[in-house]
Amino acid sequence: MKRIAFAAFAAATGLAVLPPAIAAQTEDQTSVSNPAPTTPPQAEKRDHSYTRHGITIEDPYHWLKDQSYPKIDDQDVLDHLKAENAWFEARMAPRRALVDTLFEELKGRVKEDDSTVPQKDGDWVYWSEFEEGKEYRKHYRRPAAGGEAELILDQNELAKGKDYFRLGALSVSDNGRYLAYSSDDNGSERFTARIKDLETGELLDDVIPETLSGLTWLAGDTMIAYGKANEKWRVDNVRLHRIGTDIAEDIEIYREEDEGFRVGSGLSAQEDWLVIATGDNETGEVRLVRADNPTGEQILVKQRRKGVEYSVDIRVGTIFVHTNDNHVNFRLARASLDAPGDWETVITGSDDFYLTGFSLFKDFYVTEGRLDGLDQIQLRSYDDPADMAPIAFPEASYSAGLSNNPEYTVDKLRLAYESMVTPDSVYDYHVGSEELELLKQQEIPSGYDASKYKTERLTVTARDGTRIPVSVVMLKDRPMGGPLHLYAYGAYGYAVPPGFSSARLSLVDRGMAYAIAHIRGGDDLGREWYLQGKLNERTNTFNDFVDVAKSLVDKGYTAKGKISASGGSAGGELMGVVVNTDPDLWGAVVSHVPFVDVLNTMQDESLPLTPGEWPEWGNPIESKQAFAYILSYSPYDQVAPQDYPPMLVTAGLNDPRVTYWEPAKWVAKLREVKTDDNELLLKTNMGAGHGGKSGRFASLYETAEEYAFILWQLGLAR
């Protein structure tokens, strides 16, 4: 539930998009009754101020936050957002041919009749498919012993007549008869869960609204564990629904009293325990209860201690614990169920190896982590912790990790692999022979020749002497000094992987280099890398990004003013800061659903995420120091009378993570005080949330708009 980059956690969203020709006709028809605006909208200024810690803040665009939120019905607010959308359409209209060209390029790289690699889970083999021209997946299974394919869920049918659709949880009962799934049809991330009888094809009467969690089958497939979102969009509970009963009879088996903590649950590796986890961005606590008796006595593994994170799994009565209690890069420990809090070290924490997680299987376990910033997958013996076999990969820079491995007893592991020049690849790793078997590699129907491109891993020196990694991909024959796109996120310990993007080729093939700055705030180089970019060290993140850009200029990769930059959510905050501090570096900036009204949001306890975010950003309500520090960089508060680069900003009206008024207020203030005539566009999706439009082609069209804006501003449009 963090403000993370959308591509990192929501790849399967969907919304139908009009074909470009039809879209153009619709715009033309609209323009007859509503002539295109010739000047950008200017939001009205209304007096509003507040004082905290002796500091008074003027906020004349406060009114753009609808005071009846989460209901949004203030006509002045809606009219302003529509006016901004009209200005976006008017300015982009001459670029529609370029948008359409880019859209066809992006779409041409998508295999329309694609499918996932089937994977066995118990008595069945499961996979999903896209059909040509369809926005959403169909989910299938067939008997593992052999037999016909069976369609178990068609997202296209569920999405019919909806402007937005997103599938949430998807869970088949252990006996294979029932399918529990949840969906969101407006982008607010309040999911409704339903249960389908796979023998009859009928939906049961059971309907569970307002869920925001997985759906876990328990007690011999008679119950489902889930988390219900409260009125503040926070999951503070685990509830049990007995199939065939009224949801009013559902049983709450855990409730979290700390408003900053969130709760989740799932099954252990052998599926004999329900693991109930609660925590915030820096502290965790876990309870265990038997999966066959979920209303029974719970075992508290260890009482929470501020700053200590831990997660657990269980094998044959032994609890395995992944924790940072005595080393910032985590250790792996174990304990007995009789003494769950007495942790004995299995793998010692290391300054060099960052242990990010583990997975238990019957005959071995797997540890995952990063060494020098590169992903590691290691097979280990239960009997000898020193007996470790790392899986070797062929490239010097890549992204790799365990994929879908639902069974406990395995002799091969499903892996995911990619690099900046190697498309998404699915492997099986055969444990006995230590061989990698390529099962599938992302197909680019319009063609892709990896030999045309080169990738580099650079390090640049930040202003405080820290060495920052940078991943770059470009055409082999690209001249130095040309245009370059720089991307980063830099928050919550999320490491942006040096992975593949077929969409990115539309920039690279036009002579741009594409660079990812692995800045502090992510955990690319270990947990300390993350800690150096949060709370009172937050400005390291922004400085790193600027210093990477300047270094790429100094190294001859590009030139000042030829750099486009983008980021979303907390990465959008990054964009907001760097256009305030170093506006002349950037030739174009795209800021998606940007977290830019940081000071106000961190003081608004009514918002869903705020209490849980204080460990990340600081609590300006209680701390004068936190108030002053956040004020010093908060993009909205630091807008100044100066020239700004061309900017495209996006928002989602139903976004519960970064509320729509943050980008709206920011753009309004920029319009008021900036001293240049550069483009400033705001596009608000009026029926979507944090991830923008849904559907694989609809989202591609928005990417085409983003790329068209960048190419237009850098003088590369053609």
**655 lies in some domain:** yes
Q: Residue 640's Cα: distance from chain center in Å?
A: 31
Do both 518 and 640 map to the same domain? no
Flag the least confident range among 10-24, 202-216, 436-450, 612-626.
Answer: 10-24
Which pLDDT score, from 0 to 100, does residue 335 have? 98
Whether the ω angle into residue 70 lies within 30 degrees of 0, i.e. cis, is: yes
**273 lies in some domain:** no
Q: Is the dihedral of CA 86, 88, 89, 94 positive or negative?
A: positive
Asked whether the beta carbons of 603 and 620 are under 8 A apart, the reply is yes
Which pLDDT score, from 0 to 100, does residue 1 have? 25
**338 lies in some domain:** no
- Residue 609: pLDDT band by 50, 70, 90 thresholds? confident
Which pLDDT score, from 0 to 100, does residue 12 have? 26
Tokens of 420: 């900046």
For residue 16, pLDDT beyond 80: no
Q: Which of 541, 559, 577 finishes a domain?
A: 559
β-strand pairing of 165-172 with 13-14:
antiparallel
Q: Distance (Å, rounded) from C-alpha 664 to C-alpha 644?
A: 17
Tokens of 392: 């070797």
Which pLDDT score, from 0 to 100, does residue 694 have? 61
For residue range 656-711, list pLDDT tens digits in order: 889 999 999 999 999 999 999 999 999 999 876 666 556 778 889 999 999 999 99
Active site residues: 569, 655, 690
- Residue 564's beta-bridge partner residues? 485, 588
**275 lies in some domain:** no
Q: Which of 510, 537, 559 finishes a domain?
A: 559
φ/ψ of residue 360, rounded to 5: -100, 135
Nearest to 119 by CA among 403, 401, 368: 403
- Residue 14: pLDDT band by 50, 70, 90 thresholds? very low
**What is the 3-class SS of 131-192, one letter each residue?**
CCCCCCEEEEEEECCCCCCEEEEEHHHHHCCCCCEEEEEEEECCCCCEEEEEEECCCCCCEE
Do both 522 and 635 map to the same domain? no
Tokens 């993007």 sit on residue: 501
For residue 22, pLDDT beyond 50: no
Reported residue count of the chain is: 718
**161 lies in some domain:** no
Which pLDDT score, from 0 to 100, does residue 540 have? 98
Do both 470 and 544 map to the same domain? yes
Distances (CA, A) of 457 to 158, 168, 503: 44, 36, 21
CA angle 303, 215, 489 (to 5 degrees): 70
Q: Distance (Å, rounded) from C-alpha 574 to C-alpha 596?
A: 8
- Residue 453's beta-bridge partner residues? 475
- Residue 21: pLDDT band by 50, 70, 90 thresholds? very low
List the CATH number of the domain containing 516: 3.40.50.1820
For residue range 50-69, list pLDDT tens digits in order: 999 999 999 999 999 999 99
Got the DSSP string for 612-650?
HHHHHH--TTT-HHHHHHHHHH-TTTT--SS----EEEE
Do both 627 and 529 map to the same domain? no
Do both 535 and 602 map to the same domain? no
Which pLDDT score, from 0 to 100, does residue 34 have? 75
Do both 617 and 673 map to the same domain? yes
Do both 627 and 710 map to the same domain? yes
For residue range 440-489, list pLDDT tens digits in order: 999 999 999 999 999 999 999 999 999 999 999 999 999 999 999 999 99
Which pLDDT score, from 0 to 100, does residue 19 have? 26
Q: Which amino acid is at 400?
A: A
Which pLDDT score, from 0 to 100, does residue 28 have? 32
For residue 158, pLDDT beyond 60: yes
**482 lies in some domain:** yes
Q: For 211-229, what is the mean pLDDT?
A: 96
Flag the least confident range among 55-59, 159-163, 214-218.
Answer: 159-163
What percentage of the chain has pLDDT greater than the value 70? 94
Do both 707 and 594 map to the same domain? yes
How many CB atoms within 10 Å of residue 504? 19
For residue range 534-588, list pLDDT tens digits in order: 999 999 999 999 999 999 999 999 999 999 999 999 999 999 999 999 999 999 9
Do both 546 and 617 map to the same domain? no
Flag the least confident range among 20-34, 417-431, 597-611, 621-635.
Answer: 20-34
For residue range 267-304, list pLDDT tens digits in order: 999 999 999 999 998 999 999 999 999 999 999 999 99
Asked whether the beta carbons of 599 and 586 are under 8 A apart, the reply is no
Residue 519 structural domain: 449-559
**176 lies in some domain:** no
Expressed in angstroms, the distance from the first to the final Cα of the chain is 40
Q: Which of 538, 559, 580 finishes a domain?
A: 559
- Residue 189: pLDDT band by 50, 70, 90 thresholds? confident
Asked whether the beta carbons of 315 and 360 are under 8 A apart, the reply is yes
More confident residue, 221 or 612: 221
Tokens of 425: 């690849």
Contacts of 276 (CB under 8 A, 6+ apart): 238, 253, 254, 263, 264, 265, 286, 287, 288, 289, 298
Return the SS3 of 257: coil
Which pLDDT score, from 0 to 100, does residue 15 have? 21
Q: Distance (Å, rounded) from C-alpha 682 to C-alpha 586?
A: 18
Do both 595 and 673 map to the same domain? yes
Asked whether the beta carbons of 223 and 265 are under 8 A apart, the reply is no
The chain-wide mean pLDDT, for the chain, equals 92
Number of domains in the chain: 2
**410 lies in some domain:** no
Do both 612 and 511 map to the same domain? no
Do both 555 and 460 map to the same domain? yes
For residue 97, pLDDT beyond 60: yes
What percentage of the chain has pLDDT greater than the value 90? 87
For residue 2, pLDDT beyond 70: no
